[in-house]
Amino acid sequence: MNNITDDNYLKAIYHLGLTTNEKLVSPTMLANELLITSPSVLEKIKSLIAKKYITYSKKKGITLTKAGKDMAVNVVRRHRIWETYLHKHLGFNWDEVHAAAEDLEHVRNEKLIDKIFEVLGHPEFDPHGDPIPNKQGVFPKSVRRALSASVMGCKIIIVGVTEHSDAFLKYLSDIDLNLNDKLVVIKIIEFDGSIQLKGRNNGIIQVSKIIADKIMVRCEKENCRCK
Amino acid sequence: MNNITDDNYLKAIYHLGLTTNEKLVSPTMLANELLITSPSVLEKIKSLIAKKYITYSKKKGITLTKAGKDMAVNVVRRHRIWETYLHKHLGFNWDEVHAAAEDLEHVRNEKLIDKIFEVLGHPEFDPHGDPIPNKQGVFPKSVRRALSASVMGCKIIIVGVTEHSDAFLKYLSDIDLNLNDKLVVIKIIEFDGSIQLKGRNNGIIQVSKIIADKIMVRCEKENCRCK
DNA sequence: ATTTTGTATTAGGTATACCTAATTAAAGAA
DNA sequence: TTCTTTAATTAGGTATACCTAATACAAAAT
Q: What digits encode the pLDDT tens for the residues A144-202?
A: 899 999 999 999 999 889 998 989 999 999 999 998 899 999 999 989 999 999 988 88
Query: Is A68 in contact with A54 (CB distance < 8 Å)?
Result: yes
For residue A93, what is the nearest residue in chain B, using CA coordinates? B111
- Phi, psi dihedral angles at A126 (to 5 degrees): -90, 180
Residue A20 has pLDDT above 80, yes or no: no
Do A112 and B90 count as a contact with CB atoms less than 8 A apart? yes
For residue B87, what is the nearest residue in chain A, using CA coordinates? A112
Q: What is the mean pLDDT of residues A103-110?
A: 96
Distance of CA B56 to the CA centre of its chain: 25
Measuring from the CA of residue A8 to each C1', which nucleotide is nearest?
D17
Do B103 and A1 count as a contact with CB atoms less than 8 A apart? yes
CA of B40 to C1' of C21 (A): 14
Query: Is A127 in contact with A91 (CB distance < 8 Å)?
Result: no
Q: Between B1, B91, B116, which is nearest A103 by CB?
A: B1
Measuring from the CA of residue A44 to each C1', which nucleotide is nearest?
D17
Contacts of B103 in chain A (CB under 8 A): 1, 107-109
Is the CB of B58 less than 7 A from some atom of nucleic acid strand C? yes
Q: What pLDDT is recorded for position B22?
A: 61
CB contacts < 8 A (A, B): 44
Percent over 90 (pLDDT), chain A: 78
Higher local confidence (pLDDT), A45 or A227: A45
Minimum mean pLDDT among A50-59, A124-133, B50-59, B82-91: which range? A124-133
Contacts of A87 in chain B (CB under 8 A): none
Do A107 and B111 count as a contact with CB atoms less than 8 A apart? no
Tell me the average pLDDT of chain A.
Answer: 93
Q: What pLDDT is recorded for position B128?
A: 83
CB atoms within 10 A of CB B208: 13
Judge whether B3 is closer than 8 Å to chain A, CB to CB. Answer: no
Query: Is B170 in contact with B211 (CB distance < 8 Å)?
Result: no
Protein residue at shortest CA distance from C1' of C6: A28
Within chain B, which residues score under 70 in pLDDT?
Answer: 21-22
In DSSP terms, B218 is beta-bridged to B157
User: ∠B19-B32-B26 over CA atoms, to 5°?
Assistant: 65
Is the CB of A203 less than 7 A from some atom of nucleic acid strand C? no
Q: What pLDDT is recorded for position B223?
A: 80
* Per-residue three-class SS string for chain B: CCCHHHHHHHHHHHHHHHHCCCCCCCHHHHHHHHCCCHHHHHHHHHHHHHCCCEEEECCCEEEECHHHHHHHHHHHHHHHHHHHHHHHHHCCCCCCHHHHHHHHCCCCCHHHHHHHHHHCCCCCECCCCCECCCCCCCCCCCCCEEHHHCCCCCEEEEEEECCCCHHHHHHHHHCCCCCCCEEEEEEEECCCCEEEEECHHHCEEEECHHHHCCEEEEECCCCCCCC
Give the distance from residue B147's alpha carbon to the nearest chain A alpha carbon, in angstroms.
Answer: 33
Contacts of B77 (CB under 8 A, 6+ apart): B113, B132, B133, B134, B135, B137
Judge whether B106 is closer than 8 Å to chain A, CB to CB. Answer: yes
Angle in degrees, 0-180, between the axes of helices B66-90 and A110-119, rounded to the nearest 10: 50
Higher local confidence (pLDDT), A2 or A33: A33
CA of B13 to C1' of D11 (A): 27
Q: What pLDDT is recorded for position B143?
A: 79
Assign A22 a pLDDT band (cuts: 50, 70, 90): low
Give the distance from residue A46's alpha carbon to the nearest chain B alpha carbon, in angstroms.
Answer: 25
User: ∠B58-B11-A100 over CA atoms, to 5°?
Assistant: 145
